[in-house]
Chains A and B, each alone.
Chain A
Amino acid sequence: MNLKQAYVAEIAERLRTRREVVQLFGVGFTVVVVEPLHSWQEEDDVVAARKPVVRLETLPDGKVLVKTGKVELGQGSRTLIAQCVAEEMGIPVDRVRVEMGNTDTCPDDGGTWASSLTPETVPLVRAAAAKGKVRDPKDWTTLGTSIPSLDARAIVTGAKKFASDWMPAGVMAAKIVRPEAYRAKLVSFSAPPEVKIVKEGDLLAVVAPTMREAEAAAAKVKAVWSDVPIEKPDFRANAEAPVLVPGARYPGIVSRGSLEVGLSLAAKKLKAEYRVANIAQVPLEPWAAVARWTGERLRVKSGSQAPFLVRRELSQHFRMAEAKVTVRTIDPGSGYGGRQRGECELEAARIAKLAQAPVRLAWSREEEFERAYFRPAGVIDVASGIDAAGRIVHWDFHNYNSGASSLGLPYDVDNFYCGFHKSKAVLKEGSYRSLAAVANNFARESHIDELALLAGEDPHECRLKNLKDARLKEVLTRGAEKFGWKKRKGDIACNLEKDARLSLFVEIDEKIKLRRVVCVFDCGAILNPGNLRNQVEGAIVQGLGGALFERIEHDGTRIVNNRLSRY
């Protein structure tokens, strides 16, 4: 059984068990009082009660409580999950309450990553709510409609509490004393006697009753560091051979036919190299976590995208059972893939343990720039060939370091090879909005434009000629109509990822200033059109930053643009 099969089997098993739990209660749902968790005491009660984790409960006020390990990052998951339950149970959305991202009370739906909410979690929630056959999309009355965000009023009134707003009474503020360098070893330090220091290895922090006091105290600490230089990246020299792991979400090799045959058919050949830079997530809310130890139990609240993964990280670090660790996500001020690992949570938990007090650690913007992870940098080499008719006959594509998502070739080519080479990153790297797909799309679509030029063809025609996939051709055709491709100068890209098809047309002026964007997106049945439009617009706007001006810069030791005013 491969990883994916194991995961699917696990979900199926959980679903089956949950059904049984539900059936035990005869009427269909358990009846328990569950209020939002505002105090540690209430959390202790939940832990003490040790209730089995169920997907759905009916509350005494008649509302239905649905639980998911997924979290709300601004992508609209809370509203979508409520819509699923409302649709399948035939009740209004305002009768549904959603509890998210609590490792004690919610099913582990995997991290909030890889656009997996819709294809993986939505079917589970719908099945649980339907208690049998889910409703056909043609009969939908709630799903498929633009239900506004359930958080809207709380957002515009400032009532919505984000992870960094969580400041329970009696919690100490922590401030870490950091080196200026990106990486450094602590050599020595000194501090006035009134400053409460905690230290473990290279972790040096100050703990005080308030954030202000903690910051003032940290400024009094004199630490001597031995800087570790940031190496120059050499992604090709440090590359590993591509490997195909069965069942991988993003296969490391996608190929067909023979490159030798392809090359022999090529009338014109082209070689090019594409580079992508490290860019920062910069969620507007920098990371924050509250950690509290009670005996051998650890409780953490933070803005994690992956509370179950962070729970595992914490339990492994402290060598304790996962059951003794609780991670609860408070909605963060977004994440874009950047909050999957528990850097801040681990620091908060370590400091809380050392200080023997509950601790809140809130990173500054500079810390967020330096201590979180970046979108992977990389190099992509493409060698290709076209025949006399302008058809692509040869495609040899190698991505070094920047990820395997969207590695494959949506074009109709008989002989091609696409490989992702793991390599040595010089900065800490991880997921980013739109996955790693940006890097491969950028290289592939830029190269297609160059091939069109080589063939003396229109880039839109060149794409249509080399495509077989009817849905992808349709988004390109519709996009060209909307954009007015025949009359206006512009650039195109298209993509086939996770069974969705997308075309994007942009018009830029000679100063590389963006004039217009047209996007046509075929993503299958749409669960919430209003929210989808918001997400696509937002992704385009954010993507422009990476395309036009964002990049992380360092001087060999320090990240030099570690502030919004410099980034």
Chain B
Amino acid sequence: MGLTGAKYGCGEGTCGACTVLVDGVAKRACLIRVKDVAGRAVTTIEGLEREGKLHPVQEAFVSEEAFQCGYCTPGMILGAVALLAKNPKPSEQAIRQNLDAHICRCGTYPRIVAAVELAARGGKR
């Protein structure tokens, strides 16, 4: 399909770079087989933007510049989207716990937490 947004990082479900949404739930693509998702909705980062408009979590990541190299970002954003769908007003601790299984080797974690908080506030500072 030529969709390269979901990234390979570890192949063992540890880094979160390959995160996709399966029926809205964050899953590690490296741990699921194609037959496991037959008939289910799989959303990759490419499917988040609607009619040229970024998803609020994408907006928040841009606004906080919550990345450096950007390799972890697609997985990080999808992890955050799944979290906010489940828990629209997460505490800082809940965000940290939820995204703990995502690695950003550039070390932008404080910004990532800030971006998720911003998205949870509907983009209001």
Contacts and interface: CB of A to CB of B under 8 A. Distances in A.
Nearest to A544: B107
B111 interface: yes
A284 interface: yes
A165 B4 contact: yes
A42 to B, nearest CB: 19
A463 B31 CA distance: 52
A284 B72 contact: yes
Contact of A158 (B5, B62, B106, B108): B5
Contacts, number: 136
B9 A365 contact: yes
Interface in B1-35: 3-12, 14-15, 17
Interface string A527-548: 0001100110111111000000
Interface of A: 73-76, 148-149, 151-162, 164-165, 282-286, 331-334, 336, 362, 364-365, 530-531, 534-535, 537-542, 563-565
A250 to B, nearest CB: 24
Given A365-B9, A542-B106, A157 B49 contact: yes
Contacts of B9: 284-286, 333, 365, 564
A565 B68 contact: no
B14 A563 contact: yes
A148 B69 contact: no
Contacts of A75: 68
A158 B74 contact: yes
B104 interface: yes
Q: Is the interface of B mostly helix, strand, loop or mixed?
A: loop
A283 B107 CA distance: 11
Contacts of A537: 107-108, 110-111
B54 interface: yes
A158 B45 contact: yes
Given A286-B8, A334-B69, A540-B107, A157 B45 contact: yes
Interface in B27-68: 44-46, 48-49, 54, 58, 61-62, 65, 67-68
A537 B113 CA distance: 13
Given A157-B58, A542-B105, 16 more contacts: A148-B62, A148-B65, A149-B67, A155-B67, A156-B61, A156-B77, A164-B8, A165-B4, A284-B69, A284-B103, A285-B8, A333-B69, A538-B108, A541-B108, A541-B110, A542-B107
A165 B104 CA distance: 19
A395 to B, nearest CB: 32
A74 B106 contact: yes
Given A156-B61, A285-B7, A534-B68, A564 B107 contact: no
A537 B68 CA distance: 11
Contacts of A332: 69
A537 B110 CA distance: 8
A156 B69 contact: no
Nearest to B108: A538
Chain A CB within 10 Å — which of B10, B15, B62, B110 has the most? B10
A253 B78 CA distance: 51
Nearest to A535: B68
Contacts of B111: 534, 537
B27 to A, nearest CB: 16
B88 interface: no
Given A148-B65, A542-B105, A158 B3 contact: yes
Q: In this complex, which of A74, A76, A149, A284 has the most chain B Cβ atoms within 10 angstroms of its Cβ?
A: A284
Interface in B62-93: 62, 65, 67-74, 77
B93 to A, nearest CB: 14
Contacts of A159: 5, 46
